[in-house]
Chains A and B, each alone.
Chain A
Amino acid sequence: GQQVMQIPQYQHVQEGEDFTTYCNSSTTLSNIQWYKQRPGGHPVFLIQLVKSGEVKKQKRLTFQFGEAKKNSSLHITATQTTDVGTYFCAGPEEAGTALIFGKGTTLSVSS
């Protein structure tokens, strides 16, 4: 079946270092969404990418959607302790009735 894969599963960085998580889908996606879950919290929507090759920025976060609309990435520049959490990508399954989530990348940051 349709799958969304994320790497790495875990990443530890020193504060101020950059961080990137990658998301790959087994099928072409109409769009991709990114969510963040803080420790002990619930997933919160960050952004949605729709167009092939789209790049969007939110302060230190840069999101990209691949040209083939099968992969995406989230890059954080100069991480801060507030960036700690698990980042999920999600894409709609082909019938459009469910979102398929990647397993997430858990980011830890030491100061």
Chain B
Amino acid sequence: EAQVTQNPRYLITVTGKKLTVTCSQNMNHEYMSWYRQDPGLGLRQIYYSMNVEVTDKGDVPEGYKVSRKEKRNFPLILESPSPNQTSLYFCASARGTVLAKNIQYFGAGTRLSVL
């Protein structure tokens, strides 16, 4: 089954404790992206990757890191989480490297609370 898998689904942590949210897709998609969703603000892109070893900042990259060492995986790293990073996070993937006509497939989401 074609899917984007995120882990964990729920995470409660404390300020400053490094964490990683994993994302894996089995569709051989070139493009992967991370979004955060906050009430009233919709989906905002954090980082994206057009292929292995190619990453770029989205609209809200501060406080986040990503890596793309393998095509299928795109982990999101919070080196020193802060309470303003409490949010619902989605990973997405799409075929190709130009999004003009490509559908994005989303993972189930990770709800993060930073205390």
Binding site secondary structure of chain A = loop
Give the shortest distance, in Å, between B49 (CB) and chain A (any CB): 10
Alpha-carbon distance between A79 and B40 when the two chains are bound, in angstroms: 23
CB of B42 within 8 A of CB of A45, answer no
Q: Does A101 reach chain B (CB closer than 8 Å)?
A: yes
Chain A residues near B104: list those with CB within 8 A. 33, 35, 43, 45, 90, 99
CB of B42 within 8 A of CB of A96, answer no
CB of B56 within 8 A of CB of A45, answer no
Give the shortest distance, in Å, between A106 (CB) and chain B (any CB): 10
Chain A residues near B42: list those with CB within 8 A. 88, 101-104
B41, B45, B101: the one contacting A98 at CB < 8 Å is B45
- Of residues 56 through 111 on chain A, the ones whose CB sits less than 8 Å from some CB of chain B are 88, 90, 92, 96-99, 101-104
From A33, A98, A102, name the one whose CB has the most chain B CB atoms within 10 angstroms. A98
Chain B residues near A30: list those with CB within 8 A. 100-101
Alpha-carbon distance between A1 and B28 when the two chains are bound, in angstroms: 31
A interface, CB within 8 angstroms of B: 9, 30-31, 33, 35, 41-45, 48, 50, 88, 90, 92, 96-99, 101-104
